[in-house]
Amino acid sequence: MYSLIINEIFYSIQGESLSSGLPTVFIRLTGCPLRCQYCDTAYAFNEGTKKDFNQIINEVKSFNCNNITITGGEPLSQKNIIKLLTLLHELSFNVSIETSNAISIKGLDVRTVIVLDIKTPGSKEESKNLIDNYRYLKPNDQIKFVICNLSDYEWAKAYIYKYDLYRICTVLFSPSHDEMNIKTLAENILKDNIPVRLQTQLHKVIWSNERGR
């Protein structure tokens, strides 16, 4: 029986991505090779319990919700996650995965919606971005930039044109909580008329930084 080290499984409102607002079951995996300076889930770096797939599926089913988001940490740092994605799809769940662009997304089940978080200079992990990942993205996937300041905004704006990311799938600009003013970000997006979608962390608007939300 395959297993994963799980930090937490919880039921909440999806706060980000094009599915923002939908009731969702989150499976948060333990471990991450990155140390983004704004990380709000550092507790997932090491805390976790080994669970086999039957335990994970039973816990997920207990919430009676068909929307699943795999997150971390960095969920792709555990190789068995690829098998869990396929199993969840076979059980007819709607599945998305939030990943940091530091590990290859090649080979993921094509039914999985990928939310690829490209790291800006403000994250302090820009060097970890894998440019090769962009070739594996699908039209229904999403690319996210967490914008820490106006320098990040200018960098991300140039980046999406450099790699034609807006032609691949939806590009999301999200203000880093407590760092980037959302009004300022919105006004710059409008001024420059760039092909991105503004988002905010809805779960933080509702519950602040409460864990498991």
Domain harbouring 103, CATH code: 3.20.20.70
If one counts the domains in the chain, the total is: 1
Domain coverage including residue 202: 3-207
Residue 213 lies in a domain: no
> pLDDT grade, residue 155 (50/70/90)?
very high
Greater pLDDT, 61 or 202: 61
Q: Angle at Cα 68 formed by Cα 1 and Cα 163, nearest 5°?
A: 105
What CA–CA distance (Å, rounded) separates 180 from 183?
Answer: 9
Residue 25 lies in a domain: yes
Longest dimension (CA), the chain: 54
Number of C-alpha atoms within 13 angstroms, CB side, residue 186? 6
Is pLDDT above 90 for 37? yes
What the block records as the tokens of 101 is 């662009």
* SS3 state at 172: strand
Least confident piece of the model among 11-15, 181-185, 206-210:
206-210
Residue 212 lies in a domain: no
Residue 124 lies in a domain: yes
In the predicted model, what is the mean pLDDT of residues 197-208?
Answer: 84
Residue 10 lies in a domain: yes
Is pLDDT above 90 for 84? yes
pLDDT, residue 205, reads: 81
Residue 56 lies in a domain: yes
Residue 12 lies in a domain: yes
Q: Tell which residue, 159, 162, 153, has the closest CA to residue 198.
A: 153
